[in-house]
Amino acid sequence: MPDSAENVAAPLIEVRGVTVRYDIARTGTSLMAVEGVNLDIAEGEFVTVLGPSGCGKTTVMNVIAGLVQPTEGTVTVDGRIVTGPGPDRAVVFQDYALLPWRSVFDNVRFGLEMQSTLNSGDWRERVQNAIELVGLAGFEQSYPRELSGGMQQRVGLARAIVAEPRILLMDEPLGAVDALTREVMRDEIEKLITATGKTVIFITHSIEEAILLGDRIVVFKSHPGAVLEEITVDLPRPRSERGAQSDPRYLELRDHLWDVLQNEATAASRGGQGS
Ligand SMILES: Nc1ncnc2c1ncn2[C@@H]1O[C@H](COP(=O)(O)OP(=O)(O)OP(=O)(O)O)[C@@H](O)[C@H]1O
């Protein structure tokens, strides 16, 4: 029997015709941040997102997270329309967004407190496991101010995974850490995600990071923000930056993305939209 549509699993996340227009109260105008975005993401897929600054990457992620309501269009997760945040989706922010007055343990525990269905039985063990998974065992009682940027982002990651969401939404999670930590954490994130089978959307400004982490790369354009291109990354895993440097396919992808983004950045610097 030939493959039929019924044999193909529906995407876990379906973004359909999403347009977001922000009202700017100060000027009485509005800004079209993204227009008509369509995107399908399969369960277990690691999707990296690239695009010029201001093209609406965070806006689309926030719609998927349920933090922003689209002006038009819908997002469905597992067939259900997203109307707000839910325990199936966790966000990791660039600026960590930790609670400074709470210890590492209590910051990670916060990820469980966000869940209304918290079952008190095994929460301590779950918090401890998440802390161990991100390599912070021994720092449970430390406060965010006592940690490096990389360690603080590990806390952010542990807080996101402690509730065992199906989907991780990561908005430039490595943007604020130094280059060396960034490389180490990129490899750790790849291992962690492939081990846990989570579905990930990962925004980055680094072309190399997008290729090394992604099963697929979604490139956004500006004015208005929309999907410009989707590229499947057909490189074997695990991927290392050093190994990739001598892989002609990696170099080809990198050059292509440089060209696309350079053109987009030029177009974006000429454009600008308000109404
Ligand atoms: N709450 C808001 N109110 C008004 N305008 C907003 C709001 N959030 C974002 N914008 C505007 O919407 C556009 C898209 O912003 P968004 O943060 O989604 O882009 P981005 O691609 O994630 O940018 P960057 O790469 O710089 O983080 C920008 O022009 C931004 O100024």
pLDDT in tens, 124-172: 899 999 999 888 999 999 999 999 999 999 999 999 999 899 999 999 9
The predicted model gives 39-62 an average pLDDT of: 96
E runs forming strands in the chain: 13-24, 29-41, 46-50, 72-77, 80-81, 89-92, 167-171, 199-203, 216-221, 226-232
Q: Which of 19, 21, 22 to mutate to test the pocket of ligand 1 (most atoms within 8 A of CB)?
A: 22
Q: Which of 55, 61, 62 to mutate to test the pocket of ligand 1 (most atoms within 8 A of CB)?
A: 55
pLDDT in tens, 202-261: 999 999 999 999 999 999 999 889 999 999 999 998 888 888 889 999 999 999 999 999
Which helix or strand (DSSP H or E) is residue 191 part of? Answer: helix 179-196
ipTM of the complex: 0.98
The gap between the terminal CA atoms of the chain, to the nearest Å, is 53
Ligand 1, atom 29, lies closest to the CA of 54
The per-residue pLDDT for 3 is 47
| Residue 1, pLDDT above cutoff 50 | no
Which of 275, 249, 198, 265 minimizes the C-alpha distance to 50?
265
Distance in Å, CA 54 to ligand 1 centroid = 5
Q: Show the CA angle centred on residue 263, arms to residues 61 and 94, nearest 5°.
A: 30
Q: 117 in helix, strand or coil?
A: coil
The per-residue pLDDT for 262 is 93
* Distance from C-alpha of 40 to C-alpha of 171, rounded to nearest angstrom: 18
The per-residue pLDDT for 6 is 55
Distance in Å, CA 219 to ligand 1 centroid = 16
DSSP secondary structure code for residue 11 in this structure:
P
| Residue 275, pLDDT above cutoff 50 | no
pLDDT in tens, 68-101: 999 999 999 999 999 999 999 999 988 888 999 9
Distance in Å, CA 113 to ligand 1 centroid = 29
| Residue 2, pLDDT above cutoff 60 | no
pLDDT in tens, 28-50: 899 999 999 999 999 999 999 99
The per-residue pLDDT for 145 is 96
Distance in Å, CA 171 to ligand 1 centroid = 12
Are the C-beta atoms of residues 155 and 85 closer than 8 Å to each other?
A: no
Q: Which of 23, 24, 59, 203 to mutate to test the pocket of ligand 1 (most atoms within 8 A of CB)?
A: 59
Ligand 1, atom 6, lies closest to the CA of 22
Which helix or strand (DSSP H or E) is residue 125 part of? Answer: helix 123-133
Are the C-beta atoms of residues 250 and 234 closer than 8 Å to each other?
A: no
The per-residue pLDDT for 249 is 94
Integer Rg of the chain from CA: 19
Tell me the pLDDT band of 273, cut-offs 50, 70 and 90.
Answer: very low
Tell me the pLDDT band of 266, cut-offs 50, 70 and 90.
Answer: confident
* Distance from C-alpha of 275 to C-alpha of 30, rounded to nearest angstrom: 6
Tell me the pLDDT band of 10, cut-offs 50, 70 and 90.
Answer: confident
In ligand 1, which atom is closest to the CA atom of 56?
18
Residue 121 in tokens: 């039985």
Ligand 1 neighbours (beta carbon < 6 A): 22, 24, 31, 33, 51, 53-59
Q: What percent of the chain has pLDDT over 90?
A: 67
The predicted model gives 173-181 an average pLDDT of: 87
